[in-house]
Amino acid sequence: MKEYRIGGLPVVDEDNVLLGILTNRDIRFEQNMEKRAKELMTSYQNLVVAGSHISLEEAKEILHQNKIEKLPIVDDKRHIKGLITIKDITSVIENPNATRDDKGRLVVGAAVGVSDGLQRTQELVKAGVDFVVLDSAHGHSKNIIETLKMIKERFQDLPVIAGNIATVEAAKMLIESGADALKVGIGPGSICTTRVISGVGVPQLTAIMKVSEEAKKYDIPVIADGGIRYSGDIVKALAAGASTVMMGSIFAGTEEAPGETVIYQGRKFKTYRGMGSIAAMEKGSKDRYFQEETPNEKLVPEGVEAMVAYKGEVKDVIIQLVGGVKAGMGYVGAKDINELQQKARFIKITTSKQ
């Protein structure tokens, strides 16, 4: 329990019938670690339990009234169905906007590539992943299409996001192949050099508009991936037709972001690298850029490494972004994203703008 930071474990028999609960309190000062769980646990007869249809508020009240921290959820035959804890309820209260599944767990997705797409997806499904992202710098390719079809054929109920793309033709192909959502963006990222290296790309706003127009015919959501530098860029992406956005550089300097913290000229920075950088490719992102067979010394980078200013905790950055999006929607007079897309008007700014 210490290794996984777990405060308690339900004890069940081979038929998944609840026998009791073993908590840290039961073993904290125990000298004989050879004892069986049933000798230390709180037995079922002394437990407070609830049925599977209990609401969060009802569970909270039961925990409070009985001065307990854990509430096992069982069916009429004592089969364990879940465990509600004070920690769970506190997390829900403190993070009401967190995306959770029907079991109250955070929704988790994972990226898969072309070379190991099916095998990796299989292992991820075993681990309980909620969706996968078939991720490539060029989503409108034969390998992506074939991998997408194989994944959807094997795991029909698993949502698959596919990309990256920037054209209507690519959107049609991925949708016909089974994509549940589309990721749009060829080279708009702040440390992505695809457009410079390959000469290929579509302006991000144009790509969002074109792809989302096609995707809406099939009720397929669009994710705007890259090019978000300010909260206003989020508003523009949503107004252009995106259902949501993906961001990297904005969060790169936060405390929670991966990367080494360094001090440079008296200021605090964090290292940040693009998926197409040499360092990232050497660590495993080669197949995203179709260079999985290329030796490291011959890799052609489509991204760079950089340092970004330290920004503190990610929650503070998100608060500012959400505030900016709300302000933008307020200026347009939109109460939700659908209304924003209906009411927003785009105006071309010339070089002689005022």
Given pLDDT bands bounded at 50, 70 and 90, which one contains residue 121?
very high
Q: Which residues are within 8 A (CB) of 32 and not within 5 positions of it... i.e. 6 or more apart? A: none
What pLDDT score does 293 carry?
66
Select the more confidently predicted residue: 151 or 298. 151
What pLDDT score does 3 carry?
75
Q: What is the mean pLDDT of residues 250-268?
A: 89
State what percent of residues in the chain have pLDDT above 70. Answer: 90
Q: Show the tokens assigned to 98.
A: 């967190």
- Asked if the model's pLDDT at residue 245 lies above 60, the reply is yes
What pLDDT score does 290 carry?
59
- Asked if the model's pLDDT at residue 31 lies above 80, the reply is yes
The helix (H) or strand (E) run that includes residue 125 is: helix 117-127
- Asked if the model's pLDDT at residue 4 lies above 80, the reply is no
Residues 174-222: tens digit of each pLDDT:
999 999 999 999 988 766 777 878 888 899 999 999 999 999 999 999 9
Buried b or exposed e, range 320-340, using 16+ CB within 10 angstroms: ebeebbeebbeebebeebeeb
Report the CATH architecture of 8-94: Roll (3.10)
Q: Helix, strand or coil for residue 130?
A: coil
What pLDDT score does 17 carry?
94
Residues 280-324: tens digit of each pLDDT:
656 665 565 556 667 766 566 566 677 888 999 999 999 999 999
Question: What is d(CA 194, CA 189) in angstroms, rounded to the nearest whole number?
Answer: 9
Pinpoint the residues of the chain covered by CATH 3.10.580.10: 8-94
What pLDDT score does 338 carry?
96
Identity at 62, one-letter amino acid code: I
Given pLDDT bands bounded at 50, 70 and 90, which one contains residue 32?
confident
Pinpoint the residues of the chain covered by CATH 3.20.20.70: 109-252+314-343
By annotation, the residues acting in catalysis are 192, 288
Q: What is the mean pLDDT of residues 124-138?
A: 94
Residues 67-92: tens digit of each pLDDT:
998 999 999 999 999 889 998 889 88
Q: Which residues are within 8 A (CB) of 3 and not within 5 positions of it... i.e. 6 or more apart? A: none
Rounded mean pLDDT of the chain?
Answer: 89
Quote the strand ranges of 49-130, DSSP E. 70-74, 80-85, 109-112
Residues 106-116: tens digit of each pLDDT:
999 999 998 88
What pLDDT score does 208 carry?
98
109-252+314-343 CATH, one of 3.10.180.10, 3.20.20.70, 3.10.129.10, 2.130.10.30: 3.20.20.70
